[in-house]
C-alpha cells in the first residue's frame, strides 16, 4: 500500500482525493499496489466532511511521517509551496504538483533535488490541465528536434473569449462563471493578463529545449484590451481571437510570446473552444502533433496529478530522467519576429487611408457595418520593430497579431 499526503484541500486537492476514491481498484492495478490518501494539509477544518479525520494543520506531521511515500502539492503560489516541496524531497518523498508558478520558477532545482535522492518531482498537471503534454515531451517526442510549440494554454481565458465571441456575453459575467466553475486562478489577473499562459509556455519551451526559459523574459499580453468591436472585425476576417502561448525556433534562436492572436479556420487551434486547451507541436522528423482536451477544472487536473502519483509509485527508488537544466536559455528578441498585424485606427478610409498606407505600405482594409469613426486593416508581414515604428504615425485604437500556423 502506498500512502500519500495532499497539501491543499481546494479545487484540485479535493479532486485528487475524489479521483483516488473513485478509481481505487484500477489505480491499484496500474500502480502495482493500492494508493491511499493518509493526510491532507489545510489551514481550514471541514466539520461534518469525512475528510476531516485526515486533515492536519502542520506540514511537519506529513514530512516526519515515514509511511508517506508521495506528497501532492496543490496549494498554488510559490510560498509556502516551495519550502514544503523541498522539505518533502529532503525527507525522501517524491512530489507531484499542479503548481505552474512553482515549476516555472524552480523546476530545474526541484528536479535536481529529486534526482540526487532517487526520487521524482512530477508536474504533468502544471500545463494543459488533464491533457498529457509534459510526459509526451519528456518521454515520447525524444527523437525529434522541436521547432514549434503553439498552444491555447489557459482554460479561463479561452472560456471567456469563446463566450464573448459566440454569445456576446460580457467580460465580467463570463469571468465570474469561470471562477464559479473552478477554472480561474485564485487571482484571476494571472489568467486574464496572460501570466498563467506565460508560465506554461515557459515550462514547455524549457522541456522542449532542455534549458531554462525565464518566464519574465517572455513577452506577455493578456485579453483585457479585446473589445466587442475586435470580435466583429475578427468575424469579418473569418477569424477568432485566441490567447496563444507560442515558441518557435528560427535559425538558432527560440522566440516566445504569450498574447491574443487572430487565427483563421485553417489554424489547428481554431476549433479549440470553451475551457478546452489545445497544444500544437512541430518536430523536425515527426511533423505535426496535436494535444487537445480539458485544460482546467477539478477532475481533469486531478486526473493528471494522480497519473503522476501512479508513476511515482511505479518508480519507487528510481528517478525518471527529465532533461531540464538550470542553464539559462537566451530567447531571441521578439522585435525581430516578422508577422501580420490587424490594426484599428481612428478616422475613415476616405480621409485617412493615405496616411495609413504611408506608414504601413501595402495593407488590406477591413470595414464592419455599424462601426463608425474608425476602420481596420491587415498589414503585410512586418517585424514587431517595424510595426511599432509605423504605428507611432497613426491614431491606433488597438492591434492584434495574426498567427498563420497551419498543418503541414
Active site residues: 200
Query: Within positions 69 to 88, which residues make up the interface with ligand HSE, using CB under 6 A?
Result: none
Which of 292, 301, 2, 41 lies closest to 150, judged by CA?
A: 292
Pick from 17, 68, 263, 296: which binds ligand HSE (CB under 6 A)? 296
Smallest separation (angstroms) from ligand HSE to the CB of 301: 6
Exposed/middle/buried for residue 304 (C-beta within 10 Å: 0-12, 13-18, 19+): buried
Best CA proximity match to 324, nearest among 175, 197, 186, 210:
210
Site for ligand HSE in 364-393 (CB under 6 A): none
Segment contacting ligand HSE by CB under 6 A, of 56-64, 184-192, 213-221, 368-376? 184-192
Least separation, in Å, of the C-beta of 212 and ligand HSE?
20
**Is there binding between residue 11 and ligand HSE (CB under 6 A)?**
no
Is residue 184 within the footprint of ligand HSE (CB under 6 A)?
Answer: yes
CB 199 within 8 A of CB 317: no
In this complex, which beta carbon is closest to ligand HSE, that of residue 157 or of residue 322? 157
CB atoms within 10 A of CB 196: 29
Compare residues 13 and 155 and give the one whose CB is closer to ligand HSE.
155
Residue placing its CB nearer to ligand HSE in the complex, 121 or 183: 183
Site for ligand HSE in 188-207 (CB under 6 A): 191, 196
Helix (H) or strand (E) holding 169: none
Q: Which of 15, 129, 283, 293 binds ligand HSE (CB under 6 A)?
A: 129
Which CB sits closer to ligand HSE, 11 or 379?
11
Measured distance CA(89)–CA(94) in Å, rounded: 6
Q: Identify the residue whose cell numbers are 517595424.
A: 386
Residue with smallest beta-carbon separation from ligand HSE: 156
State whether residue 228 is helix, strand or coil.
Answer: helix
Count of residues touching ligand HSE (by CB under 6 A): 11
**Would you put residue 266 in left (φ > 0), alpha (ψ -120 to 50) or beta?**
alpha
The single residue among 8, 108, 155, 268 that binds ligand HSE, judged by CB under 6 A, is: 155
**Minimum CB distance to ligand HSE smaller for 220 or for 379:** 220
Give the separation between CA 214 and CA 217, rounded to whole angstroms: 6
Least Å distance, CB 327 to ligand HSE, is: 26
Q: Which is nearer to ligand HSE, 39 or 150 (CB)?
A: 150
Pairing of strands 338-339, 341-346: unpaired
DSSP alpha helix (H) spans, 361-405: 384-391
Min dist CB 200 to ligand HSE, Å, is 7
Residue 259 neighbours by CB distance under 10 Å: 22
Part of the chain binding ligand HSE (CB under 6 A), chosen from 19-27, 66-74, 132-140, 153-161: 153-161
Q: Omega of the bond prior to 80 within 30 degrees of 0, cis? A: yes
Cβ–Cβ under 8 Å, residues 294 and 131:
yes
Which CB atom, from 173 or from 362, has the smaller least distance to ligand HSE?
173
CB 263 within 8 A of CB 169: no
Shortest CB 311 distance to ligand HSE, Å: 20
Q: What backbone torsions phi and psi does residue 126 show, to the nearest 5 degrees?
A: -75, -20
- Shortest distance, CB of residue 286 to ligand HSE, whole angstroms? 26
What's the DSSP call for residue 267? S
Distance CA 254, CA 248 (A): 5
Provide the minimum distance between the beta carbon of 388 and ligand HSE in the complex, in angstroms, as a whole number: 30
Q: Measuring CA to CA, which residue among 129, 133, 113, 16 is closest to residue 73?
A: 16
* Binding to ligand HSE in span 321-350, by CB under 6 A: none
Contact between 154 and ligand HSE by CB under 6 A: the answer reads yes
The residues that touch ligand HSE, with contacts defined as CB under 6 A, are 129, 154-156, 183-185, 191, 196, 295-296
Amino acid at each position: 500500500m502506498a500512502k500519500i499526503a495532499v497539501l491543499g484541500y481546494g479545487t484540485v486537492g479535493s479532486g485528487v482525493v475524489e479521483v483516488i476514491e473513485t478509481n481505487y481498484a484500477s489505480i491499484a492495478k496500474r500502480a502495482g499496489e493500492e494508493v491511499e490518501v493518509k493526510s491532507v494539509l489545510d489551514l481550514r477544518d471541514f466539520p461534518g466532511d469525512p475528510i476531516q479525520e485526515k486533515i492536519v494543520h502542520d506540514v511537519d506531521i506529513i514530512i516526519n511521517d515515514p509511511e508517506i511515500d508521495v506528497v501532492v502539492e496543490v496549494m498554488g503560489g510559490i510560498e509556502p509551496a516551495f519550502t514544503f516541496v523541498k522539505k518533502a524531497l529532503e525527507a525522501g518523498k517524491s512530489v507531484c504538483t499542479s503548481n505552474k508558478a512553482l515549476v516555472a520558477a524552480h523546476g530545474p532545482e526541484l528536479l535536481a533535488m529529486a534526482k540526487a535522492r532517487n526520487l521524482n518531482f512530477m508536474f504533468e498537471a502544471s500545463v494543459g490541465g488533464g491533457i498529457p503534454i509534459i510526459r509526451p515531451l519528456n518521454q515520447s517526442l525524444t527523437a525529434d528536434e522541436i521547432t514549434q510549440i503553439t498552444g491555447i494554454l489557459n482554460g479561463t481565458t479561452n472560456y471567456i473569449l469563446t463566450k464573448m465571441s459566440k454569445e456576446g456575453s460580457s467580460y465580467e459575467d463570463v469571468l465570474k462563471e469561470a471562477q464559479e466553475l473552478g477554472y480561474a486562478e485564485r487571482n484571476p489577473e494571472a489568467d486574464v493578463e496572460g501570466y498563467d499562459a506565460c508560465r506554461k509556455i515557459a515550462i514547455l519551451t524549457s522541456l522542449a529545449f532542455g534549458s531554462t526559459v525565464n518566464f519574465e523574459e517572455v513577452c506577455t499580453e493578456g485579453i483585457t484590451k479585446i473589445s466587442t468591436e475586435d470580435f466583429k472585425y475578427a468575424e469579418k476576417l473569418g477569424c477568432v481571437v485566441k490567447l496563444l502561448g507560442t515558441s518557435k525556433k528560427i535559425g538558432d534562436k527560440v522566440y516566445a510570446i504569450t498574447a491574443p492572436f487572430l487565427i483563421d479556420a485553417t489554424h489547428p487551434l481554431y476549433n479549440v473552444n470553451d475551457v478546452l486547451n489545445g497544444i500544437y507541436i512541430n518536430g523536425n522528423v515527426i511533423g505535426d502533433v496535436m494535444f487537445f482536451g480539458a485544460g482546467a477544472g477539478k477532475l481533469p487536473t486531478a486526473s493528471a496529478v494522480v497519473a503522476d502519483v501512479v508513476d511515482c509509485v511505479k518508480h519507487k527508488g528510481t528517478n525518471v530522467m527529465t532533461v531540464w537544466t538550470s542553464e539559462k536559455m537566451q530567447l531571441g528578441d521578439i522585435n525581430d519576429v516578422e508577422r501580420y498585424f490587424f490594426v484599428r485606427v481612428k478616422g475613415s478610409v476616405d480621409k485617412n487611408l493615405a496616411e495609413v498606407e504611408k506608414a504601413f505600405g501595402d495593407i488590406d482594409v477591413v470595414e464592419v457595418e455599424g462601426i463608425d469613426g474608425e476602420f481596420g486593416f491587415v498589414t503585410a508581414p512586418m517585424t514587431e520593430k517595424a510595426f511599432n515604428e509605423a504605428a507611432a504615425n497613426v491614431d491606433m485604437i488597438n492591434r492584434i497579431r495574426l498567427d498563420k500556423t497551419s498543418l503541414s
